[in-house]
A and B are shown apart, each in its own frame.
Chain A
Amino acid sequence: MTILTIFRRELKSYFAQPTAYAIIAIFVLLSLGFGFTFGDFMNVGDASLQFSFFFWHPWLYMLLAPAIAMKLWSDEQRNGTIELLGTFPVSTWAAIVGKFLAAAAVSLIALVLTFPIVITVNYLGEPDNGAIIAGYIGSFLVCCTFIAITMLVSACTRDQVVCLIVSVAICTLMVLCGYDPVTRELAKATSLGTVEAIVAFSVWDHFTSLNRGLLRLQDAVWFTGFISLCLVGTSTILSAKRA
């Protein structure tokens, strides 16, 4: 109930300012644009969205997810509204979950608006729509992971710009460290064990398996575990800051 109240306020706040519109428009234009141009969607001759479309999502999210979530706690701390929230009969958890869901909802709207490519691929060929749905789920989970990380960072600082820079850096690392060309170079420089440890931190492995239409338990555990960890961390930081 209180989660819902917080969720509604946050979501309204996104659409009361240009933030959400800008982020959604950029995501839809770039993801479709990349799909039809660099992704070579039309010429591959393959009725699948894995490489032409979904491949670009982590790269877009590493910049856009922090832009969505950077205000979640830094704004509260800067404006002092955290003092209102902290003295309302609301648990910190309800506030954290409500805010997280609102940011996730913005990204979900953006993702849903990329539907023209699904229609196109169904019109042109006979794609495996199950795999496309799995791809969408994977893409959404990557975005949620990045939102959770940004939320954690935003609890640490009252400055949105600092939050944006730090979160983008972390998300970029999480994208790059599992990207094949990078891992190949890493493998030359260090031992296999180190490379595996670094790759475990990356989103690619879990994202690609979903993208292929595989719903693996380990991926579900990785995403929910990572997101939960960030939310628990946010709660810890917020309590520690008040003490």
Chain B
Amino acid sequence: MIEVLNLSKHFGSKIAVNDLSFTVQKGEVLGFLGPNGAGKSTTMRMVTGFIPPSSGEAKICGISITNNPTEAKKKIGYLPESAPLYNDMTVVGFLKFCAEIRKLSGSAKKDAVERAIETCFLGSVANQSIDTLSKGYRHRTCLAQALLHDPEVLILDEPTDGLDPNQKYEVRQLIKRLGETKAILFSTHILEEVEASCTRAIIVDSGRVVEDGTPAELIAKAPHGSLTELFRKVTTSDTTA
């Protein structure tokens, strides 16, 4: 479903992503781990077609995102890192706009918006202006946008960032449930999330994959059976120059 082949990205002389390859199959939830600046967001931006790769390729359901971006983008639901939204719209207005962009109309549009509102628990703020929402609601509104067209592939950049523990739990359950029928790639640096909702995880550091396996395999490799120890061992801290 998601195929990433030798993907690289350079910004000037800086190498953000270095020859990265992985695949995510249908029914799989891949946790994408790594320290800040490891190239997680850059990779996701390339896979979703927001920025072009310097070399390599990403395919969504067999469609190349560089050669046929419009078709490939139809298959993707994407939650960007900062959960950007149009502040002058209401939650419903925003979701309707996104549904129209996804070529949904009439009752299909209405149903899709209602379903997304229900899935993301937005009922109580549906007619509220987005600039009055709290961070948790903003995040969930942006997540709802990614689910509208019932995409085959979900790419979520830190979906639980800024949520309270209850909301985090809900979102993890949601990811787990959606993962049964979709291919999901989500990034995080909260390691407990990997155990809670991933079927597989990769750890990247300086734009390269340094570990790849199921949560159980990774824990078996870890020094004291803790993912944190493994994470600290295989990644470089930004304080060590």
Q: Which residue of the partner chain, among B49, B88, B103, contacts A86 with CB atoms under 8 Å?
A: B49
Distance of A91 Cα from B49 Cα, bound (Å): 11
CB-CB under 8 A from A224, the residues of chain B are none
The A interface, classified by DSSP as helix, strand, loop or mixed, is: helix
Once the chains bind, are B70 and A16 in contact (CB under 8 Å)? no
Of chain B, the residue at the smallest CB distance from A85 is B101
Size bracket of the A interface: 20 to 34
Do A89 and B97 form a contact, CB below 8 Å, given A13-B88, A242-B51?
no
B170–chain A nearest beta-carbon distance, Å: 23
Q: Is A5 an interface residue (CB 8 A)?
A: yes
Contacts of A12 in B (CB 8 A): 89, 93
Map CB proximity to A onto B28-50 as digits: 1 under 8 Å, 0 otherwise: 00000000000000000100111
Chain A nearest CB, measured from B205 CB (Å): 24
Question: Which parts of A56-109 form the interface with B (CB within 8 Å)?
Answer: 79-84, 86-91
Chain B positions within 8 Å of A90 at CB level: 70, 101
Q: Which residues of A contact B236 (CB under 8 A)?
A: none
Name A87's contact: one of B48, B88, B100 (CB within 8 Å).
B48
CB-defined contacts of B87 to chain A, threshold 8 Å? 79
Contacts of B64 in A (CB 8 A): none
Q: Which of A9, A17, A83, A91 lies in contact with B50, CB distance below 8 A?
A: A83
Interface residues of B in 71-123 (CB under 8 A from A): 71, 73-74, 76, 78, 80, 82, 84-89, 93, 97-98, 100-103
Q: List 11 A-B contacts (CB under 8 A).
A: A6-B101, A9-B86, A16-B88, A16-B89, A17-B88, A80-B84, A81-B84, A83-B80, A87-B48, A87-B73, A87-B76
What 9 new A-B contacts, CB under 8 Å, besides A86-B49, A88-B98, A89-B74?
Answer: A9-B86, A12-B93, A17-B88, A79-B85, A87-B78, A89-B103, A242-B50, A242-B51, A243-B51
B interface residues, Cβ below 8 angstroms from A: 45, 48-52, 69-71, 73-74, 76, 78, 80, 82, 84-89, 93, 97-98, 100-103, 145
